[in-house]
Amino acid sequence: MENFFIESGHASVNKHDESLCGDSYYITKDGGKLTVVLSDGLGSGVKANILSTLTSTILSTLMSRKLPVDECIETVASTLPMCRERKLAYSTFTMLQVESTQARLVQYDNPRAILLRNGKNVDYNTTVRFIGEKEIHESTLYPRENDLLVLMTDGITNAGIGKVMQDGWPRKDVIECLERWYTPELSPQHLAAMLVNAALSLCLDSPDDDITALVFKMRRRQAVNVIIGPPADPKDDERVLKLFFAKEGRHVVCGGTTAHTVSRYLNRPIVPIADSGTETVPAIAAIEGVDLVTEGVITLQQVADLAEKYASNNRISLSISEKTDGVSRLASLLFEQATDITIFHGQAVNHAHDSLDIDFDSKALLVKRLAKSLTEMGKNVKVSRC
């Protein structure tokens, strides 16, 4: 399991004319244990948001304290009773805990989670029992490499009712789409965005309910190493670059000065890639032995901005994947392909920036912003100053 990583993807769309989402989710990691709670509050807007937030917060807090699942559910059941008028639960929930090679899935009134293995739906056993008035469905799963587990609220399966779908989007049809979209390289973030976008299309871009999808993938770790700027002391160039290229995974070089330093170290020329730039994104280049060579500050600024937008609009991954410029390629590599990221932040002063509004502190802040956003995405990030 040390060589595996549970990658997550998530996307949401609010009900039309609502500023708050009635669906809430918490994803936490404690050592080798992953805990996920997805909740859908009754109704929409502020009330639904409060109810789902309470449910997901209570459950995730109790589970983080390693209380038995029964006790966690009983606490929520007593805290959030049934709605007397509508005879519905104040909020539904799906809980997922993954530890080692075993996953426990607990579902209450959300659409049944979908497990894809080698791109095909896998039926899994479920035990049904009652805790108070709540019918709880429990399953034990044994994830394998590249398995995808899709959790969702009923905004997915009810998509299009009264518009283009008489009975909504049945789970079996959702499964057919997931199987059709599947590729071994598909990231969970990309799949979550595709699923929510498809539901939004069925709603004619005006959803009558909040729509949320969470996707989890058991995948092998993918390390990405990025060097931004040469070392402070030129005497350290060889030592630092030797460490950089000795690290497993892919290698990215950011910045013209850094590229020339790497070119000398590898004794390989820098080859410009024609027509790889745009009006706003500088062109990229190639060096044999390096996976990606980009311009420095302008590219990094845009990647850092994208990373911060990514947190609030996860469907942005769809537009990133459609482009091949340096910003999109670096963003795709860091956001969707990498699990472990090491940033070598060179401390050398770049005199090429003397005439620009770019100083060492602003560049350091840029690296800090990017590292923070990547960590919030669930990546293992290490910044090594040199």
Q: How far apart are CA 138 and CA 107, in angstroms?
A: 6
Q: What is the pLDDT of residue 101?
A: 83
CB neighbourhood size of 49 (10 A):
21
**Whole-number mean pLDDT of the chain?**
89
379 pLDDT higher than 60 = yes
| Domain formed by 4-220, architecture | 4-Layer Sandwich (3.60)
pLDDT tops 70 at residue 200? yes
Is the model's pLDDT at 354 over the cut of 50?
Answer: no
CA distance 72 to 60: 9
- pLDDT of residue 129 exceeding 60: yes
Query: What percent of the chain stands above pLDDT 70?
Result: 93
Quick check: 37 pLDDT over 90?
yes
CB count in 10 Å sphere of residue 141: 19
How far is residue 77's CA from residue 168's CA, in Å, rounded to a whole number? 29
More confident residue, 386 or 273: 273
pLDDT 10s digits, 70-89: 888 888 877 765 566 655 55
- Residues near 224 by beta carbon (within 8 Å), at least 6 away in sequence: 249, 250, 251, 252, 333, 334, 337, 338, 340, 341, 342
The whole-angstrom separation of Cα 188 and Cα 6 is 10
pLDDT tens digit sequence for 218-268: 998 999 999 999 998 999 999 999 999 999 999 999 999 999 999 999 999
Per residue in 20-31, pLDDT (tens digit) is 999 999 998 877
Q: Positive or negative, the Cα torsion across 346, 352, 354, 359?
A: negative
Closest CA to 21 of 216, 196, 201: 196
> What pLDDT score does 318 carry?
82
Partner residues linked to 24 by β-bridges: 39
Residue 49 pLDDT more than 70? yes
345 forms beta bridges with 228, 385
pLDDT of res. 2: 58
- Spatial distance between the Cα atoms of 252 and 259, rounded to a whole number of angstroms: 10
97 pLDDT above the threshold of 60 = yes
DSSP assignment of 289-349 equals T-SEEE-SHHHHHHHHHHHHHHHH-TTHHHHHHT--SHHHHHHHIIIII-SEEEEEE----
Determine how β-strand 33-41 pairs with β-strand 23-30: antiparallel
Which pLDDT tens digit goes with each residue over 304-326?
Answer: 999 998 877 777 888 887 788 99
- Best CA proximity match to 117, nearest among 144, 99, 152, 97: 144
> Structural domain boundaries of the chain?
4-220, 223-385
Q: What is the DSSP letter of 94?
A: E
Average pLDDT rounded to a whole number, residues 122-148: 91
- Cβ neighbours around 204 below 10 Å, total: 12
Q: Is the pLDDT of residue 55 over 60?
A: yes
